[in-house]
Amino acid sequence: MSNVAAYLIGKAQKSYHDTRTAPHPRLQMGMIAKRALADAGLVATQLDAIACVDPLSWTYADLEKKISRDIGCDDKITTIWKPAGGTTPQDLLHDITIAMREKRLETAIIMGAEAMRTRRKAVRAGQEPDWPARDKSISPMRGQKAFTSEWESRHGLRLPIQVFPLLENAIGHANKRSAQQQIRTAAALLNKNAKVAAHNPNAWFRDAPSASDIAEVTTENRMISFPYTKRMNAIMDVDQAAAVVIVSDRFLAKNPHLRSTAAAVLGGAGAEEIWNPLQRHSLSHSPAMQTALLAALEYGGLDTKDIDAFDFYSCFPAPIQLALAALDINQDDPRPFTITGGLAYAGGPGNNYVTHALATALEQLREKPSQRILITGVGMANTKHAATLLSHANEIPTQATGLTQYRLPTTEEALEVATEANGLCSVVSYTVEYDRNSEPVNVIYILDTQDGRRAIANAKDPINEARIVLSSDPIDKQGDLIWDEEQKKQFFTLRH
């Protein structure tokens, strides 16, 4: 008798890379949900719950209710929602699993879709897409704190493209690599992902660029924020949809013919870092990620060596390296680090990428029932983490508990932030942000003050300062922090 409470039994994916435009997200979700239900052998009226990953490309009020009507669900269907982020599909899955363990649900569906390519194409043409009116009162990132603090944002730390390069440079320094060595390390990891994408019919990019092509700065592959070129970034300009159907152990027992095509949720967990990146003790280590990954393995009754394939969330190369370090896996490990190709090559459909990974995992386990697959998610500024362990329903490890947790507690305390400060500081990490003409437009420093506080600052002259920081690793070097009352920002200059 297994302890597993929830099973994936249906999946569907769609990438609109063979069309010029795609339907709006709600319409995509309805279509992909019907395909996933058909794959599971269910009809919409059999669903007890529906969960949607909020799209970034368009907003709707009462999205779950509208889609449930679109696909023909019962009017009394339960709706499940979690705040947006790269972990959202797993957060929903873990909550659904808990509800199934507590006998509150028998069947559920998770779905998501993005049409960012179509929307941005219309905007560039000076048009609005021919979609239903957007509910502008709905924020796609509602229900949680802002991505970073106002103080961090004031200094240019407001988007993933600025945060993750800081982590990458810190990881390189912690591993005693030069900047160029770290770039080659990151490019090699993404090349490994790209080779997987080349064989994934749902991947957005299947060209499998070489590591040198990923690393080299060219007109088409410009530097975004050092050390990341464009091909090291998740690509959000995609039109993609995915859905998975989940059933309880009781439902599966009543429908044993579905077992041969089902995947068991062996265990899963989530955890959060200190919310603001500036206040974290380390930028080269992710304690909450490690907590989530190790808990998923423990709940699943497996060890790292037992896993056949991983899907490490790869919005950028840094999370892959943080996950490898958390699990003590070498970067040259022959096992795949993605089953889809990752967000830079399979596609980065807003916060719905992991739904694609879950759908791909179910397909892969049907083809190779002996495999065990670990899927991870990362949300916000490397803030939210989730991990889910899956096996075929007929290959459940004897030690698997099937337990899931939405968020496990962590013990790290936030560092105090120095504001409007002056004095000697040492560099914790840095990045240089570039414009579309490949000119440096901002240098962001994360600093430690002499009295143990954490500071953020920019360079007064980003072009000249960029030349200095890129000529020699500035991490651990000292310089002068100055508060500029007129600009209401802190600036930093390295001592030479």
3-state SS, residue 185? helix
| DSSP state letters, 293-311 | HHHHHHHHT--GGG-SEEE
Helices (H) and strands (E) in the chain, counts: 13, 17
User: Could you give the CA distance from residue 192 to residue 334 in angstroms, rounded to a whole number?
Assistant: 10
Q: At a CB cut-off of 8 Å and minimum separation 6, what does 433 contact?
A: 156, 161, 162, 224, 225, 226, 440, 441, 442, 443, 444
DSSP 486: T
User: Could you give the CA distance from residue 189 to residue 168 in angstroms, rounded to a whole number?
Assistant: 13
**Look-up: residue for tokens 């179910």?**
362
Sign of CA dihedral 231, 234, 237, 243: positive
Nearest Cα to Cα of residue 264 among 352, 358, 342, 405: 358
- pLDDT of 26 reads 97
Q: What is the pLDDT of residues 342-369, one digit of tens each?
A: 999 999 999 999 999 999 999 999 999 9
Residues of the chain where predicted confidence (pLDDT) is lower than 70: 1
Cβ neighbourhood burial of 477 (10 Å; 0-12, 13-18, 19+): middle
DSSP 199: T
- pLDDT of 2 reads 87
